[in-house]
Amino acid sequence: MMETINIILEGLPTLLKGMGVTIEVTVISLILAMFIGLVLGVFSITKSKILRTIATAFVDIIRGTPLLVQILFIYFGLPSVLDINLTAFSAGVIAITVNAAAYLVEIFRAGINSIDDGQMEAGRTIGFSYSQTMRLIILPQAIRRMIPAFVNQFIVSIKDTSLLSAIGLAELTLAGQSIYAVNFRAFEILFAVGVLYFVIIYSLSLFSRWLERRLDVA
Amino acid sequence: MKMIEVNNLKKSFGKLEVLKDINMDVNSQEVVCVIGPSGSGKSTLLRCINLLEEPTGGDIFIEGDNLTAPKTNINELRQRLGMVFQQFNLFPHMTVMENVILGPKRLKGKSQSEAKEIGTQLLDKVGLVDKTDVYPDKLSGGQKQRVAMARALAMEPHIMLFDEPTSALDPEMVGEVLQVMKDLAEEGMTMTIVTHEMGFAKEVADRVIFMDEGFIVEQGTPDELFNNPQNERTQAFLSKVL
């Protein structure tokens, strides 16, 4: 037992560093993904056929291909034809952003659609433009309803970052691998890796429950 | 100048022709009630007047401004046209006061205190000043509709449009809503009201328009239309509802 604890303690500084990278990639990616998801989500409900097609094509392509393939494509595929040089970190951020955005588009679309048409009409007849009505009346209501779905996607994305170990990004999973590759204590190290993922995700769950309770008051 | 002028208005939804060549106008301070069986196109007519529905043909002028001209700023124009819906459409995430003052604050540049002053005045007028900080889901239907009227009036519209404002209400709440509308009419507001309340139309309207199957069949003063209808479709409709 003492030995197990010692092995984990020895690996902990490396694991925590990896956990930091995991959190960093996730936070940056999800902020970008929320922005893209919102914009394409609004595209997908506009009258413009071009904008709707852009949104639908994006969602279909990204959802229709495996994330691991997307990661490898961005890191190895793109630089081989374009004259760019991506670090594993930026390739990882791009892949997670694009992937999460595709699912968030659908959450935004469904959330906005769930608001009664009368709300848009009421806003427009007061004299607000489409975008003012969206911002002041539709989105504040829709986003409350979207919170559980957002959190679900955030959790999936946090776990998806473990796939970035495939392109050599030193996030939590790769940090674990690098330790047991040397000391061969896969059981202890992977157990610790799992616990650290759980800590991140469970904290997020607690935060979202608190947020939902707070917004429910209004 | 006419407040509302509708010329040869047509509106189709796909193959369904809902409005067929509508011509009507509304004068300043006039109260016009539009009656007719369901499906006659009266709500669609009202929704065309503030461009919630895009006309398929014809022209609509609001205080002389062509509603569908490309250079018309529809958002500015709608501020002059208050609208009250059958389903109230209050903003559920805002208090009664916030519902009323959102427009004045964001569109008329009123400060919070100026806007609240206007809001309090209007809520007092509709008899709901004690509900200022309540959310809409705590209100009865009649109260919701009165808040909706205060919200529309807060933009100081020149014309008020009502789309069956009492149709979603329990019978005992109809009176309180009609009373506010009556007060408005007495103050000289220009009003166009789509309604099934024949008693109200008789009492308050300056002119009643009867619509059926996408046409204006007959119009006149309440006395002319209710007591001496000329068209047999008007007669048939009135014999059913009166």
Give the pLDDT mean for B7-27: 96
Q: Does A64 touch chain B (CB under 8 A)?
A: no
Tokens of B59: 């022209």
Spell out which residues of chain A touch residue B52, defining contact as CB-CB under 8 Å.
121, 124-125
Q: Is residue B228 part of a domain?
A: yes
Residue B164: give the domain boundaries: 2-90+158-239
Please tell me the distance from the alpha carbon of residue B180 to that of residue B209, in angstroms, as a whole number: 22
Residue whose C-alpha is closest to residue B155's, from B76, B96, B212: B76
3-state secondary structure of B80: coil
Are residues B78 and A132, on separate chains, in Cβ contact within 8 Å?
no
Q: Is residue B184 part of a domain?
A: yes
Phi, psi of B22 (to 5 degrees): -95, 130
Q: Is residue B102 part of a domain?
A: no
Per-residue pLDDT tens over the stretch B159-174: 999 999 999 999 999 9
Local confidence band at A157 (pLDDT 50, 70, 90 cut-offs) = very high
Residue B103 distance to chain A (closest CA, Å): 6
* Per-residue pLDDT, A217: 47
Among B50, B91, B102, whose Cβ lies nearest the Cβ of A125? B50
Domain boundaries, chain A: 1-215
Q: Which of A47, A115, A116, A126 to mutate to test the interface with B (most CBs of B within 10 A)?
A: A126
pLDDT at residue A201 tops 90: yes
Are residues B103 and A128, on separate chains, in Cβ contact within 8 Å?
yes
* Per-residue pLDDT, B24: 96
Pairing of strands B81-84, B159-163: parallel
pLDDT at residue A189 tops 60: yes
The answer to whether the beta carbons of residues B128 and B146 sit under 8 Å apart is yes
Nearest-CA residue of chain A relative to B162? A125
Q: What average pLDDT is seen over chain A?
A: 94
Please tell me the distance from the alpha carbon of residue A136 to that of residue A58, in angstroms, as a whole number: 27
Local confidence band at A55 (pLDDT 50, 70, 90 cut-offs) = very high
Q: Is residue B190 part of a domain?
A: yes
Going by the DSSP 8-state scheme, the letter that residue B86 receives in this structure is T
- The CATH architecture that domain A1-215 belongs to is Orthogonal Bundle (1.10)
Please count the structural domains in chain B: 1
pLDDT at residue A218 tops 50: no
Please tell me the distance from the alpha carbon of residue B35 to that of residue A83, in angstroms, as a whole number: 70
Interface predicted TM-score of the whole assembly (ipTM), two decimals: 0.94
Per-residue pLDDT tens over the stretch B93-115: 999 999 999 999 999 999 999 99
Give the pLDDT mean for A23-30: 97
For chain A, percent of residues with pLDDT exceeding 90: 87
Are residues B75 and A218, on separate chains, in Cβ contact within 8 Å?
no
Alpha carbon B73 to chain centroid, angstroms? 21
Let me know how long chain B is. 242
Say if residue B198 is exposed, middle or buried (CB neighbours under 10 Å; 0-12, 13-18, 19+): middle
Give the pLDDT mean for B48-52: 96
pLDDT at residue A134 tops 60: yes
Let me know how long chain A is. 218
Q: Is residue B27 part of a domain?
A: yes
3-state secondary structure of B193: strand
Residue A48 distance to chain B (closest CA, Å): 16
Spell out which residues of chain A touch residue B82, defining contact as CB-CB under 8 Å.
125
Q: Is residue B120 part of a domain?
A: no
Q: What DSSP assignment string belongs to B111-170?
A: -HHHHHHHHHHHHHHTT-GGGTT--GGGS-HHHHHHHHHHHHHTT--SEEEEESTTTTS-
Q: Where residue B22 sits, what CATH number does that domain have? A: 3.40.50.300
Per-residue pLDDT tens over the stretch B123-133: 999 999 999 99
Give the pLDDT mean for A7-18: 94
* Per-residue pLDDT, A211: 87
The answer to whether the beta carbons of residues B186 and B198 sit under 8 Å apart is no
Local confidence band at A85 (pLDDT 50, 70, 90 cut-offs) = confident
* Per-residue pLDDT, B122: 97
Q: Is residue B153 part of a domain?
A: no
* Per-residue pLDDT, B33: 97
Per-residue pLDDT tens over the stretch B197-240: 999 999 999 999 999 999 999 999 999 999 999 999 999 999 99
